[in-house]
C-alpha cells in the first residue's frame, strides 16, 4: 500500500522529533520528568501557575486585571504574611463578620469599631472610620469608587503606584489592629500604628531588597584576558526554529588572546536553542580534553545554562543527562569553570556557530583561524581589561 503525501509528511515530522531528542551517549536509566519546569522537578508553585493560566485562558476574551494584581502583590517588597493577608482580602475570603455569616456562622455582622455598618472586607480595611484614620495619617488615597478590595488595589497601583506597597503593609496592620481589639481588647491609634508599621517596612526593605541583582554572575561586556597559562574557550550555538537545524561554534584562545584552536559543527536537528547551547559546551570541553587544552576557563552567553551548571543536584529536565555529562567533562578538564559573557564578548564563537548552521561541518578541530572570523578575534582581544 502506497503511503499518501500527508502520511509521509507526518512520519517525517515524527522522525525529526525523535532525532532531536537530547540523548546522552552514556548509559542513564529512564525516568519520569515534569514538563512544567526547566529542571523537570514537580513543585506546587508551578502547578499553581499552570492552573492560573488555564483559568485565564478560559476567560481570555476579557482582559484580566486581577492577574496583574496577583503579579504586583507577589512581587511587592513586603513580608510573606502581609501578602497572604492582602491576598485573602482581595479574594474576598478575609474572615470578617459578614464573610463568616455568609458561611453559615451565627454571628453579629455589625462592625466592631463603628457598629454602624456590616463588617465586609472593604468596610474593615477602607471605609470604617478606624481604617479611614489610618489611611489619612499615611496619606493613602481611599478611592471610594472601587467597590471591593481587589478593585481598590488595582486602582492604587494604576493611579498611585508608590502607595501600593505601603498600602499592603497598612491593610495587614489594620486587620491586625482589628483582631487585637476583638480578642485582646487592645487597639492602637492611627498615629501610633502608621509610623510603627512603616518603620517595620523600612527595616524589611533594608534587609531584603537589593538594588542591583545579577544572579551572582559576573557579567562581562567585552572579551577579557584570563589568567596566565589558562586556555579560554568561548562557545555559542545558532538555531533555526523552523527546521531545527543548529550550528555549534567555539574558539580557544591563550592568555594573550592568540587563537590556539576552534571548531564548527553542523547539527541536522536540535531540540531547542538551550539544547544546542549545551551541545556546544559539551563539544568544546571534549575537544579541550582531546587536544590537551587545559587548564581551561569556558564562557557561554546562555545565562540559564551557566546558572544550572555549578549545582550538583540532579536536573530532571530532558537535558538533565547531558548536563551531568558536561559536569563530568568539566571535572575531567581539571575542574574547568563556565562563566557567563554577553553576546558582545562572544562574537567569534557566534560567527562560527552561524557558519556551521548555514554550512556543512563535522566537529573538525582547526588550529588556523578561519579568515571569516579573524577580524572578530582582533577586535575582541585588543584593548581589553584583564580578568585576573
Least Å distance between CB 142 and Zn ion? 14
User: At its nearest, how many Å lie between Zn ion and the CB of residue 82?
Assistant: 22
Number of residues that bind Zn ion (CB under 5 A): 4
**How far apart are alpha carbons 72 and 75 in whole angstroms?**
5
Q: Which residue's CB is nearer to Zn ion, number 114 or number 303? A: 114
User: CB 112: neighbour CB atoms within 10 A?
Assistant: 17
Between helix 273-290 and helix 320-332 the angle, nearest 10°, is 20
Tell me how far, at minimum, the Cβ of 119 lies from Zn ion, in Å: 6
Cell numbers linked to 136: 489619612
Q: Which is nearer to Zn ion, 134 or 235 (CB)?
A: 134
Instruction: Identify residues 127-186 at the interface with Zn ion (CB under 5 A).
Output: 128
For 212-243, b where at least 16 C-beta lie within 10 A, e where not — what string?
A: eeeeeeeebeebbbbeeebbbbbbbbbbeeee
Helices 129-138, 190-208: crossing angle, 10 deg rounding: 50
Residue 124 DSSP symbol: I
Task: Tell me whether residue 122 or residue 309 sits nearer to Zn ion (CB atom).
Answer: 122
Closest CA relative to residue 155, chosen from 141, 169, 171: 141
Question: Looking at 39-47, 81-89, 114-122, 371-379, which segment touches Zn ion (CB under 5 A)?
Answer: 114-122
Among 85, 86, 96, 113, binds Zn ion (CB under 5 A): 113
CB closer to Zn ion, 20 vs 187: 187
The interface region with Zn ion, picked from 105-113, 168-176, 317-325, 375-383 by CB under 5 A, is 105-113
Rg (CA), the chain: 29
User: Closest separation between CB of residue 113 and Zn ion, Å?
Assistant: 4
Of 112 and 257, which has the nearer Cβ to Zn ion?
Answer: 112
- Beta carbon nearer to Zn ion, 113 or 152: 113
Binding segment toward Zn ion, per CB under 5 A, in 106-114, 133-141, 170-178, 354-362:
106-114
Stretch that binds Zn ion, among 123-131, 195-203, 273-281, 325-333 (CB under 5 A): 123-131
Q: Residue 136 Cβ, how far from Zn ion at the closest point, in Å? A: 15
Instruction: Find the part of the chain contacting Zn ion (CB under 5 A) among 9-17, 111-119, 176-184, 330-338.
Output: 111-119
Which is closer to Zn ion, CB of 128 or CB of 171? 128
**What is the distance between the alpha carbons of residues 174 and 188, in angstroms, rounded to a whole number?**
10
Is the peptide bond prior to 44 cis by the omega test (within 30 degrees of 0)? no
Angle at CA of residue 10, ends 9 and 13, nearest 5°: 85
Stretch that binds Zn ion, among 122-130, 296-304, 316-324, 362-370 (CB under 5 A): 122-130
Residue of 78, 111, 153, 156 interacting with Zn ion (CB under 5 A): 111
Contact 124, 177 (CB under 8 A): no
Identify which of 234, 283, 281, 279 has the alpha carbon closest to the alpha carbon of residue 254: 234
Nearest-CA neighbor of 113 among 125, 95, 101? 125
Give the nearest distance from C-beta 52 to Zn ion in angstroms. Answer: 33
Of 68 and 144, CB closest to Zn ion: 144
Judged by the rule CB under 5 A, the positions of this chain that interact with Zn ion are 111, 113-114, 128
Amino acid at each position: 500500500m502506497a503511503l499518501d503525501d500527508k502520511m509521509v509528511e507526518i512520519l517525517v515530522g515524527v522522525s525529526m522529533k525523535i532525532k532531536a531528542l537530547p540523548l546522552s551517549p552514556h548509559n542513564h536509566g529512564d525516568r519520569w520528568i515534569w514538563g512544567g519546569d526547566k529542571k523537570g522537578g514537580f513543585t506546587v508553585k508551578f502547578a499553581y501557575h499552570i492552573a492560573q493560566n488555564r483559568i485565564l485562558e478560559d476567560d481570555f476574551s476579557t482582559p484580566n486585571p486581577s492577574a496583574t494584581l496577583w503579579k504586583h502583590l507577589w512581587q511587592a517588597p513586603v513580608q510573606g504574611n502581609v501578602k497572604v493577608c492582602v491576598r485573602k482580602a482581595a479574594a474576598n475570603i478575609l474572615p470578617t463578620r459578614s464573610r463568616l455569616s455568609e458561611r453559615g456562622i451565627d454571628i453579629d455582622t455589625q462592625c466592631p469599631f463603628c457598629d454602624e455598618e456590616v463588617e465586609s472586607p472593604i468596610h474593615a480595611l477602607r471605609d470604617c472610620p478606624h481604617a479611614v484614620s489610618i489611611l489619612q495619617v499615611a496619606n493613602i488615597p481611599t478611592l471610594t469608587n472601587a467597590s471591593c478590595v481587589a478593585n481598590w488595589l488595582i486602582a492604587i497601583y494604576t493611579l498611585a503606584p508608590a502607595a501600593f506597597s505601603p498600602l499592603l503593609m497598612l491593610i495587614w496592620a489594620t486587620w491586625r489592629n482589628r483582631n487585637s481589639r476583638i480578642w485582646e481588647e487592645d487597639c492602637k491609634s492611627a498615629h501610633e500604628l502608621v509610623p510603627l508599621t512603616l518603620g517595620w517596612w523600612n527595616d524589611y526593605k533594608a534587609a531584603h531588597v537589593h538594588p542591583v541583582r545579577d544572579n551572582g554572575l559576573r557579567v562581562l561586556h567585552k572579551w577579557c584576558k584570563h589568567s596566565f597559562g589558562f586556555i579560554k574557550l568561548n562557545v555559542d550555538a545558532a538555531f533555526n526554529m523552523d527546521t531545527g537545524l543548529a550550528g555549534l561554534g567555539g574558539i580557544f584562545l591563550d592568555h594573550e588572546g592568540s587563537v590556539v584552536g576552534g571548531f564548527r559543527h553542523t547539527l541536522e536537528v536540535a531540540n531547542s536553542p538551550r539544547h544546542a547551547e549545551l551541545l556546544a559546551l559539551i563539544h568544546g570541553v571534549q575537544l579541550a580534553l582531546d587536544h590537551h587544552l587545559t587548564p581551561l576557563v569556558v564562557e557561554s552567553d546562555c545565562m540559564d545554562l551557566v546558572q544550572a551548571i555549578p549545582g550538583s543536584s540532579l536536573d530532571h529536565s530532558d537535558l538533565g543527562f547531558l548536563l551531568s555529562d558536561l559536569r563530568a567533562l568539566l571535572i575531567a578538564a581539571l575542574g574547568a569553570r563556565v562563566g557567563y559573557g554577553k553576546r558582545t564578548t562572544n562574537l567569534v564563537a557566534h560567527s562560527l556557530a552561524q557558519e556551521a548552521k548555514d554550512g556543512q561541518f563535522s566537529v573538525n578541530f582547526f588550529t588556523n583561524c578561519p579568515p571569516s572570523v579573524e577580524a572578530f578575534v582582533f577586535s575582541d582581544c585588543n584593548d581589553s581589561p584583564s580578568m585576573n
